[in-house]
Amino acid sequence: MVTKTINISVPDLQPVIWKKLVRIRQTNRVGSAYLFTGPPGCGKEAVAIAFAKLLNCESLSDTYCGSCPSCRLFATLQHEHLKLVVPLPTGKSSGDNKGSVLDNLPQSSVDLLTAAIQEKAKNPFHKIMIPKANRIRIDSIRELRKTLYLKSQVSGQKVVLIFDAHLLSAGQGEAANALLKILEEPPDRTTLVLVTDHKADLLPTIVSRCQQVDFPPLETAVVRNVLEQYMETEQAQFIAGLAQGDMHRALSLSRRATEELLSIMRKSALAVVRADGFQWREFVSGLSRLATSNPDEYIFNLYLLQLWFKSAYRLRIGLADELHLEGLLNDLRTFNEGYPNADLNRIGEQLEDAITALAQNRYLPLTLINLLIGIQRSLRK
Looking at residue 369, its pLDDT comes to 95
User: Per DSSP, which regions of the chain are E strands?
Assistant: 33-37, 82-85, 158-163, 190-196, 211-214
- Do residues 196 and 268 both lie within one domain? no
pLDDT tens string 309-362: 999 999 999 998 877 877 788 889 999 999 999 999 999 999 999 999 998 889
Closest CA to 143 of 172, 176, 100, 104: 100
**pLDDT at res. 222:** 93
Same domain, 187 and 311: no
DSSP letter at 89?
-
- Exposed / middle / buried, residue 194 (Cβ in 10 Å: 0-12, 13-18, 19+): buried
Burial class (CB in 10 A: 0-12, 13-18, 19+), 257: exposed
Q: Give the mean model confidence (pLDDT) for residues 147-173.
A: 87
Mean pLDDT over 150-166 rounds to 88
Band of residue 298 on the pLDDT scale cut at 50, 70, 90: very high
- When divided into structural domains, the chain yields a total of 2
Give every CB contact of residue 230 below 8 A, 6+ residues apart in sequence: 1, 2, 3, 4, 254
Q: Which tens digit of pLDDT belongs to each residue from 233-271?
A: 888 888 998 898 999 999 888 888 888 888 888 899 999
Residue 321 lies in a domain: yes
Full residue range of the structural domain in which residue 173 is found: 10-214
Overall size of the chain counted in residues: 381
Q: What integer is the mean pLDDT of 97-107?
A: 79
Cα(308)–Cα(286) distance, integer angstroms: 19
- Residues facing 34 on adjacent strands: 193, 211
Q: Is the residue at 293 inside a domain? A: yes
313, 199: one domain: no
Rounded mean pLDDT of 295-322?
90
b/e per residue, 119-144, with b = 16+ CB within 10 A? ebeeebbbebebeebebbbbbbbebb
Task: Identify the bridge partners of residue 196 per DSSP, sorted by sequence position.
Answer: 37
Please give the pLDDT value at position 4. 53
Same domain, 38 and 107: yes
Same domain, 263 and 171: no
- pLDDT exceeds cutoff 50 at 167: yes
Mean pLDDT (the chain) is: 90
The residues with which 158 forms a beta bridge, in sequence order, are: 190
Checking DSSP bridges between strand 211-214 and strand 33-37, what pairing results, if any? parallel
Residue 291 falls within a domain, yes or no?
Answer: yes
Q: Mean pLDDT over residues 75-98, rounded?
A: 81
Nearest to 239 by CA among 319, 318, 316, 304: 304
Q: Please report the pLDDT score of residue 230 as a whole number.
A: 81
Residue 338 lies inside a defined structural domain of this protein: yes
Within 8 A by CB and 6+ apart from 324, the residues are 311, 314, 315, 332
Residue 111 CB contacts under 8 Å (≥ 6 apart), including other chains: none
The domain spanning residue 147 has which CATH number?
Answer: 3.40.50.300
Cβ within 8 Å of residue 38, ≥6 positions away = 44, 197, 214, 215, 216, 217
Write the single-letter amino acid at 15. P
Q: What is the mean pLDDT of residues 9-21?
A: 93
* Same-domain pairing of 169 and 316: no
Distance CA 185, CA 202 (A): 19
Looking at the structure, tell me whether residues 28 and 103 fall in a common domain. Answer: yes
